[in-house]
């Protein structure tokens, strides 16, 4: 049963596509695994899966089991940091991230996750260093996510030049990166360059899951361009699909900024 659950959760984790923490399955980097390493990896994958499902108690248990098998298993420590981050135990989260990086300084996931933690805690300048450290590993599977997160954190500090650079690097690696396209569209909208904003929105893949934020931005861009029919259509979708959202309430109140 545990093997079946591990397989199912690995599929869940692999299917997640966000610019948040990295909780992908942890394949061995080189050579054959020992039995202890295999146990540590499987328990870490289970911990990551339960974290994705919001079951933090079981995630903690699985990460602890991983560390029983391999006390210095950096991926397990990184996942522990993520769980404690969600539990708002910042001291424990930071301790686990830092320990993971002492053991494996080039671990891209650990660097990305620690950067995410720091950015969420308004320590943006520190966070960017860790996103850039994650990118130094040429084998990093999802570098576009670290470029995006670096851009978001730079934007939070008001450094729009750096933010633009980081988002563009993400788009160079993955031209349809949805979060980078959204951020670039939003920045263009803030500059009142509605045509540029619409161009970024149109580059999003049709299968990207829409959010209230995406619809609200697209609606305001069309409003800025004077496209009333498109604006009305997007407003209908926003009210129908996200009736209780902050964006829908702003629309109903006529508060476009």
Q: What pLDDT digit, counting tens, does each position of 125-166 carry?
A: 999 999 999 999 999 999 999 999 999 999 999 999 999 999
pLDDT at residue 7, as a whole number: 39
Report d(CA 204, CA 215) in Å as an integer.
Answer: 12
Question: Is there a contact between 148 and 179 (Cβ–Cβ < 8 Å)?
Answer: yes
Q: What is the largest CA-CA distance in the chain?
A: 64
**Mind listing the pLDDT tens digit for each residue in 74-128?**
999 999 999 999 999 999 999 999 999 999 999 999 999 999 999 999 999 999 9
Which of 208, 180, 184 minimizes the C-alpha distance to 196?
184
Q: What is the percent of the chain where pLDDT is above 70?
A: 87
Q: Who wins on pLDDT, 121 or 11?
A: 121
Report d(CA 214, CA 208) in Å as an integer.
Answer: 10
pLDDT at residue 141, as a whole number: 92
Question: Is there a contact between 122 and 148 (Cβ–Cβ < 8 Å)?
Answer: no
Report d(CA 220, CA 234) in Å as an integer.
Answer: 9
- 200 membership: H or E segment, kind and range: helix 194-202
DSSP state of 12: H
| In the predicted structure, residue 37 carries a pLDDT above the cut 90 | no
Q: What is the mean pLDDT of the chain?
A: 89
pLDDT at residue 257, as a whole number: 86
| In the predicted structure, residue 14 carries a pLDDT above the cut 80 | no
Which of 142, 210, 137 minimizes the C-alpha distance to 173?
142
pLDDT at residue 23, as a whole number: 54
pLDDT at residue 19, as a whole number: 56
- At a CB cut-off of 8 Å and minimum separation 6, what does 197 contact? 185, 186, 188, 189, 217, 221, 224
Question: Taking the complete model, does pTM exceed 0.75, yes or no?
Answer: yes
Sign of the CA dihedral running 65, 68, 70, 73: positive
pLDDT at residue 8, as a whole number: 38
pLDDT at residue 6, as a whole number: 42
Highest-pLDDT range among 11-15, 28-32, 93-97: 93-97
pLDDT at residue 21, as a whole number: 65
Q: Who wins on pLDDT, 23 or 158?
A: 158
pLDDT at residue 36, as a whole number: 87
Question: Is there a contact between 85 and 120 (Cβ–Cβ < 8 Å)?
Answer: yes
Report d(CA 107, CA 110) in Å as an integer.
Answer: 5
What mean pLDDT is predicted for residues 230-238? Answer: 97
Phi-psi region of 133 (alpha: psi -120 to 50; beta: other; left: phi over 0): alpha
Q: Which pair of structure tokens corresponds to residue 156?
A: 């939070």
Report d(CA 44, CA 59) in Å as an integer.
Answer: 9
């Amino acid at each position: 049963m545990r093997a079946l659950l591990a397989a199912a959760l690995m599929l869940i984790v692999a299917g997640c596509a966000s610019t948040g923490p990295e909780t992908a399955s942890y394949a061995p980097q080189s050579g054959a695994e020992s039995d202890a390493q295999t146990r540590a990896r499987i328990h870490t994958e289970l911990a990551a899966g339960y974290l994705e499902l919001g079951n933090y108690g079981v995630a903690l248990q699985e990460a602890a089991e991983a560390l029983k098998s391999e006390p210095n298993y950096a991926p397990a420590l990184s996942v522990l940091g993520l769980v404690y981050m969600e539990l708002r135990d910042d001291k424990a989260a930071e301790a686990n991230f830092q320990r993971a990086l002492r053991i494996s300084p080039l671990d891209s996931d650990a660097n990305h996750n620690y950067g995410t933690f720091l950015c969420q805690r308004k320590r943006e300048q520190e966070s960017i260093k860790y996103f850039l450290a994650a990118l130094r590993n040429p084998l990093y599977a999802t570098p576009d996510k670290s470029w995006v997160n670096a851009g978001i954190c730079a934007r939070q500090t008001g450094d729009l030049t750096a933010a633009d650079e980081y988002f563009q690097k993400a788009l160079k690696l993955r031209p349809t990166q949805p979060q980078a396209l959204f951020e670039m569209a939003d920045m263009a909208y803030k500059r009142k360059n509605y045509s540029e904003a619409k161009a970024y929105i149109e580059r999003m893949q049709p299968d990207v899951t829409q959010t209230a934020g995406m619809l609200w931005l697209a609606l305001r861009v069309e409003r800025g361009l004077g496209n009333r029919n498109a604006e009305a259509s997007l407003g209908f979708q926003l009210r129908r699909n996200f009736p209780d959202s902050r964006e829908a309430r702003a629309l109903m109140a006529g508060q476009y900024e």
